Amino acid sequence: DEIVNDITKETPACFEPTLDYVVVKAPRFAFEKFPGADTTLTTTMKSVGEAMSLGRNFIEALGKVMRSLETSRAGFWTGAEPEGDVDEVLERLRTPTDGRLYDIEYALRLGATVERVAEASGVDPWFVEQISALVDLRAELIDAPVLEGELLRRSKHHGLSDGQIAALRPELAGEMGVRALRQRLGIHPVYKTVDTCAAEFEAKTPYHYSSYELDPGAETEVAPQVDRPKVLILGSGPNRIGQGIEFDYSCVHAATTLSQAGFETVMINCNPETVSTDYDTADRLYFEPLTFEDVLEVYYAEQASGHGGPGVIGVIVQLGGQTPLGLAERLEKAGVPIVGTKPEAIDLAEDRGEFGEVLRRAGLPAPRFGMATSFDQARRIAADIGYPVLVRPSYVLGGRGMEIVYDEKTLEGYITRATQLSPEHPVLVDRFLEDAIEIDVDALCDGTEVYIGGVMEHIEEAGIHSGDSACALPPVTLGRSDIEAVRHATEAIAFGVGVVGLLNVQYALKDDVLYVLEANPRASRTVPFVSKATAVPLAKACARIMLGATIAQLREEGVLVATGDGATTARNAPVAVKEAVLPF
C-alpha cells in the first residue's frame, strides 16, 4: 500500500516533487522597537518572525515577500532611500544588517558591478544579478515616454507593486492611478495552485498564489464551490512584537466555525509559522501579502470565479490585529463589504476626540488628553495636563513608539526621535495615572447585547504594556462594585462605538475611580487566554456574530454559557494567570 500525497490526492507520497514556482522566505526584525539596538546580523538569531511568498520566478517572489514584511519600506524605492556614495555603500555591505537587500540594490544603482557587490556582501552573484535586472527595469520605467502595456506587464511579472511603479511614474497619480491603468490594459494576476507536480496531475488542494504571467491568455486555477456564500478572513502577517500568534488563533477558530456554519472560508495570509496557512485550515488559502493591492485582487478573483454563486458576502478584518484594520477603510471605499464592526467605528475608537465624546455622553471618566501635530502643541498640552504624560503615535499596536515622559526636555527628545508629526499622523498626549490598577476586558457585542468574556487584573501597576504584564482572571482584588462598573462602562463603549464582534477595553482604577484608557474594536492578544481560562470560544462566537448570529442565539446553541458571563465568575473560582516570556 502507498500513502497518498495529501495535496494531489493522485500521486503517492513518495512521488518526487516537481515545482513550477519559487518560494522565498524573509525574516521580520523588530529593531524599530529598540532604536539603540545593534542591527548587525550574527550567529545569534535576532528576527522575531518571518514572511513567505510564492511566485513563478525568484524576483517576483522576492518583491512579494518584501512587501509582506510590513515594515516602513514595502519593497525597493519605497520609504527612505539608503545613504552614501558607492564606496560607502559597498563598505556597509561588508557587515550584514537587516537592510542589506536595499543596500545591494542601491549599490548597483550607483554603478557598482555585480562582481563588486557580490564580493563585498558575500551574497552569491546569481542573486545579485537578479536584483541588477530589477535595477535595469527601474531605469526603463523612468525613461519610457509612455508606460505601455508590455512594460507594465513585465514590471508586474518582476514582482513590483502598483505603489513601487507609482513612485517611479509620478504622472500616474499614485497607486490607484497605476491600478486604473492596469484595469484599462487588462493586466491582472492569475492564481496558480500549489500542487508539487508542476500541473502534471490535477491538484485537489485549494492552496493558491498569485503571479503576473507574461502570456495575457494565462488562466487562473481557482475552482471554488458555488453553492455557499464566501467569507474572506485576513490574517495577521508575520509575527512581530505586539502582533503574534495570538491573532492567528482567532483567525483559525473563525475559519473552522464559519465553515461548519455553511460558509466557504477563504484565508489570506503570508506567515508560514501559522496554522491559518496550513492548506487544510480554511476552504481555500491564498498565500499573499496583506496589502490593499493584493487583498483587493483576491477579492475580485473570488467574485469573478463564483460562476453564479452567492459570491463574497464579506471580509473579516477584526481578527488579525492591526494589519487588517489598517486596510478596512480603503477596502470599503473600493466596494469590498466589511462584516462586523464597520471601518467608521474602527476610526471612531482610534480618534481620541470622537472617542472622548462617546465617553463624555456616557459619563465615563478618562485621563485628560490632547492630540498634537507639532512639538509646540505637544508642549502646551503636556503643561496643561500636567506631567507625567504618556505619548504615542496614533494607530499603533504593541506599544510601538509609546513612552512615559516626566518633563519637557524628555518630551522634546521623544518628538524628535520617535515621530513624524503631521495633521494625518498626530501624537497622542495622555495624563499618566501613577499607582493605578490596570484592568483588561474582552467582550462580545451583537449590536443589542454585550457579553463580557473576561475581566483581567494586571499584576503590575498601570504603565507596563498589557503584552508584557502578568494578569489574573478572575480579578483577585477587585470588588463586586468595581466589576459592575467595568460591565457598565464596557456596555456603554460597545454601543457608543457601534461594535459588532469583539471589543477589548483597558481601564485604570485609581482612588476608586474607573478611568477608560483605550478601546480596540477587534480581537486582542488576550482572546486565547480568556477563552482557555473560561472554556468559552470567544473567537468562534465573534465570527458567528459578525455574520448575523446574536448572543442570545449562541447561548441557546451552547457556544456561550446559558446564563451570566465572564464578569459573573464566582470569587472562589480557579484563578488563571498569564505571564509574558521576555527574550532578554
Look at residues 570, 565, 552, 566 and name the one whose alpha carbon lies nearest to residue 455: 566
Q: What is the mean pLDDT of residues 547-560?
A: 96
Domain 22-185 has CATH 3.10.20.340: no
- Work out the pLDDT band at 82, boundaries 50, 70, 90: confident
Task: Kindly give the pairing relationship between strand 264-269 and strand 190-193.
Answer: unpaired
Q: What's the CATH number of domain 368-431, 3.30.1490.20, 3.30.1330.30, 3.30.1360.200, 1.10.357.10?
A: 3.30.1490.20
Contact 68, 51 (CB under 8 A): yes
Chain-centre distance for alpha carbon 148: 34
Beta-bridge partners for 22: 55
pLDDT at position 369, please? 85
Percent of the chain with pLDDT over 90: 71
Of residues 461 and 65, which shows the higher confidence score? 65
Q: Is the predicted pLDDT of residue 225 greater than 70, yes or no?
A: no
Domain ranges (residues) in the chain: 22-185, 368-431, 437-578
3-state class (DSSP) for residue 15: coil
**Tens digits of per-residue pLDDT, 442-451?**
999 999 999 9
Mean model confidence pLDDT for the chain: 90
pLDDT at position 395, please? 55
One-letter amino acid for residue 74 of the chain: A
**Tens digits of per-residue pLDDT, 356-408?**
999 999 999 999 888 888 888 999 999 999 999 988 876 555 455 778 899 99
CA dist 107 and 132 (Å) reads 10
Q: Is the predicted pLDDT of residue 198 greater than 60, yes or no?
A: no
Distances in Å between the alpha carbon of 65 and those of 73, 153, 325? 12, 19, 20
CA dist 18 and 195 (Å) reads 9
**Tens digits of per-residue pLDDT, 9-60?**
676 767 677 788 999 999 999 888 887 889 999 999 999 999 999 999 999 9
pLDDT at position 426, please? 82
One-letter amino acid for residue 508 of the chain: A
Q: What is the mean pLDDT of residues 523-540?
A: 95
- Determine whether 235 is exposed, middle or buried from the number of CB atoms within 10 Å of its CB (0-12, 13-18, 19+): buried
Contact 300, 331 (CB under 8 A): no
**Tens digits of per-residue pLDDT, 230-285?**
999 999 999 988 888 999 999 999 999 999 999 999 999 999 999 999 988 999 99
pLDDT at position 221, please? 82
- Work out the pLDDT band at 2, boundaries 50, 70, 90: confident
CA dist 125 and 116 (Å) reads 9
CA dist 397 and 321 (Å) reads 8
Q: Is the predicted pLDDT of residue 325 greater than 70, yes or no?
A: yes
CATH superfamily label, 437-578: ATP-grasp fold, B domain (3.30.470.20)
Q: Is the predicted pLDDT of residue 580 greater than 80, yes or no?
A: yes
- Work out the pLDDT band at 423, boundaries 50, 70, 90: confident
Contact 464, 303 (CB under 8 A): no
Among the ranges given (351-360, 496-505, 520-529), the one the predictor scored with the smallest mean pLDDT: 351-360
How long, in residues, is the chain? 584
Q: What is the mean pLDDT of residues 202-225?
A: 80
Q: What is the mean pLDDT of residues 482-508?
A: 97
Q: Is the predicted pLDDT of residue 289 greater than 80, yes or no?
A: yes
